Amino acid sequence: ASGRIRSAAFATKVMSAEEAVGFIHPADTVAISGFGGAGTPKAVVPALAERIRETRATGSNFTINLLTGASVTSQTEKLLTEVDGIALRMPYQAESTARKKINDGRMDYVDIHLSHVAQQVWEGYYGKVDVAVVEIAGITEDGELIPSSSIGNNKTWLDVADKVILEVNSWVPAEMEGMHDVYYGTALPPNRTPIQLTRVEDRIGQPTFRVDPAKVIAVVETHGRDGANPLTPSDGVSQAIAGHVLDFFAHEVRAGRLPADSLLPLQAGIGNVANAVLGGLDRGGYKGLTCYSEVIQDSMLRLVKDGTVAHASATALALSEEGIEELTANIDFYREHIILRPQEISNHPEIVRRLGVIAMNGMLEADIYGNVNSTHVMGTKIMNGIGGSGDFARNGYVSMFLSPSTARGGTISAIVPMVPHVDHTEHDTQVIVTEHGLADLRGLSPRRRAHLIIENCAHPEYRPMLHDYFKRAEAQPGAGQTPHLLGEAFGFHQRYLETGSMR
């Protein structure tokens, strides 16, 4: 025993993962913890996959509906997908086995805004949640649960599920206790009240989850590390994009729209480009910046340590092994500067709007008018999902989309005449950035936006084709507010499908 279970009532429920999965039945809706690489159950999911495999071997069917915070570790996604264990998946995945099954039409996938998950489950859109499997760092004397390295939707899973299986993971630093802020004030209409969070560092909830002990049917002890997040060194393209973003911040400060030292709370997606932007902030002379985002990456720890960032709020850690070591070694310091919250709060439209968050997200492609596709390759095949990008983009003070100007060795242009799938409409997109430049679309009509996006953001190789498309569209009689050649609007995509290149 790890000493993490301080409540006697829970200690009597300790059992193996193999025993615990006996409580999960075919056709159950199972809600598990996990957000990115952090806080996914380590023992129960593999045991469940094994149970499904054994059941299938006897000729019986066994699928579950799987609800999570966002993506979970690839291992988790793979294990359950490979045994054909998932009938329906919600709300986000980022794993190739699952992606293939979804795109083959063999797994239902519901791709929704991360801020909507908790409320939609409360509203009953996904039926009743039979079992919640939630990783925690420990159980207090009073039977409250100390959250793990991510919070995601765990509060909601614990509230709504009929049965609860807890995984107490002694690998999670015990000193994280006190870093979390779990808000219990959300209600459904007509009983909603304002969420009193007015600064990034505000604590409006409690450090632990509550759970009805009668629902807890099993406690499983584990000692397993989170799925480490391999760091990709930032390349020239990412650095160029970051450079444009940093210039833009300086420009906005000069225009009096952003405070000079601290800007406004930053939200950055994960990956290369976000890392490069964050990495450049300490060279920008900023002090006391804040972040109101989904995840905390290694680059953020460095910024917090040197005072560039004063406070960072998110719903999950996304740290490498070195990052976890750094956090643990200096936990008393970081606990003062980092807050983890439920994703309905980290991504809440009301708060994102109030704080004036600067939203920076990746995209697959944008069209010449600023509509953005973040999710569907060639308009049909899901990549990951919309995740939190819409929560931040729609409600941010400035909404930026960042991407290299081409993909797959230059055969795909990230700027196209019309996106074949829209996640963020022209009304939600204010700034587009590629390595070639930045298009500030605020205050511009569609025709003016088109010119700017092509000139500033498209790869030079694709600019003449895009200009040609726009000119011919604009020259038509009755070209309209947003000129298009409807028969040709997806010509770039069709050409790629037929020839392997948009060129």
> Is residue 343 near ligand 0RQ by the rule CB under 6 A?
no
CB of 274 to ligand 0RQ, least distance (A): 7
Q: Does 377 bind ligand 0RQ (CB under 6 A)?
A: yes
Pick between residue 140 and residue 494 the one whose CB is nearest to ligand 0RQ.
494
Contact call for residue 271 and ligand 0RQ (CB under 6 A): yes
Catalytic residue among 294, 344, 365, 426: 294
**CA separation for the pair 236, 242 (Å, rounded):** 10
**Among residues 131, 197, 264, 414, which is the contact residue for ligand 0RQ, using CB under 6 A?**
414
* Choice from 30, 32, 79, 295 touching ligand 0RQ (CB under 6 A): 295
Whether the Cβ atoms of residue 11 and residue 216 lie closer than 8 Å to each other: no
Indicate whether 359 belongs to the interface with ligand 0RQ (CB under 6 A): no
Query: Of the two residues 242 and 273, which places its CB atom closer to ligand 0RQ in the complex?
Result: 273
Interface with ligand 0RQ (CB under 6 A), residue from 76, 293, 399, 405: 293
Total of residues contacting ligand 0RQ (CB under 6 A): 26
What residue is closest to ligand 0RQ based on CB?
Answer: 362
The secondary structure element, H or E, covering residue 211 is none
- The reply to whether 276 sits near ligand 0RQ by the rule CB under 6 A is no
234 vs 374 by CB, closer to ligand 0RQ: 374
Which one of residues 148, 389, 395, 429 is an interface residue with ligand 0RQ (CB under 6 A)? 389
Instruction: Give the residue with the Cβ less far from ligand 0RQ, 146 or 327.
Output: 327
**Which of 15, 217, 253, 407 touches ligand 0RQ by CB under 6 A?**
407
Is 164 a binding residue for ligand 0RQ by CB under 6 A? The answer is no
Given a contact cutoff of 8 angstroms between Cβ atoms, the answer to whether 263 and 240 are in contact is no
State the binding string over 438-477 for ligand 0RQ (x if CB under 6 A, else -): ----------------------------------------
* Cβ density class 144-155: b for 16+ within 10 Å, e for less: bbbbbbbbbbbb
C-alpha dihedral sign at 274, 277, 282, 287: negative
Cα torsion 340, 344, 348, 350: sign: negative
Pick from 90, 218, 270, 340: which binds ligand 0RQ (CB under 6 A)?
270
Among 384, 395, 405, 434, binds ligand 0RQ (CB under 6 A): 384
Query: In this chain, which stretch among 60-68, 195-203, 404-412, 474-482 interacts with ligand 0RQ, using CB under 6 A?
Result: 404-412
**Closer CB to ligand 0RQ, 147 or 362, in the complex:** 362
Closest CA to 377 of 240, 227, 236, 502: 502
Torsion of CA 411, 412, 416, 419, to 10 degrees: 140
Do 401 and 432 touch, CB atoms closer than 8 A?
yes
Q: Does residue 34 belong to the site contacting ligand 0RQ (CB under 6 A)?
A: no
Residue of the chain from 166, 412, 431, 439 that contacts ligand 0RQ (CB under 6 A) = 412
Verify binding: residue 355, ligand 0RQ, rule CB under 6 A. Answer: no
- Cα separation, 280 vs 261, whole angstroms: 15
Shortest Cβ 152–ligand 0RQ spacing (Å): 12
Shortest Å distance, C-beta 216 to ligand 0RQ:
31
Measured between alpha carbons, how far is 358 from 20 in angstroms, rounded to an integer? Answer: 44
The reply to whether 294 belongs to the active site is yes
CB burial string 169-201: b at 16+ within 10 A, e below? bbbbbebbbebbbbbeebeeeeeeeebebeebe
Does 368 contact ligand 0RQ by CB under 6 A? no
Distance of alpha carbon 424 from alpha carbon 417, whole angstroms: 15
CA distance 250 to 256: 10
The tally of CA atoms less than 13 A away on the side-chain side of residue 368 is 29
Instruction: Say whether 437 sits in a helix, a strand or coil.
Output: strand
Of 275, 317, 274, 269, nearest to 296 by C-alpha is 317
Among 269, 323, 396, 417, binds ligand 0RQ (CB under 6 A): 269
Q: Which is nearer to ligand 0RQ, 364 or 458 (CB)?
A: 364
Select 87 or 382, whichever has its Cβ closest to ligand 0RQ.
382
Prior bond of 483 cis (ω within 30°): no
H helix runs in 202-271, sequence order: 236-254
| Nearest distance from C-beta of residue 374 to ligand 0RQ, angstroms | 4
CA distance 180 to 148: 9
Q: For ligand 0RQ, give the closer residue by CB, 73 or 267.
A: 267
Contact residue for ligand 0RQ among 39, 91, 342, 362 (CB under 6 A): 362
State how far the alpha carbon of 418 is from the alpha carbons of 132, 265, 369, 415, 423, in Å.
42, 32, 8, 9, 13
* Enzyme catalytic residues: 294
Contacts to ligand 0RQ by CB under 6 A: 267, 269-271, 273, 293-295, 361-365, 374, 377, 383-384, 386-389, 404, 407-408, 412, 414
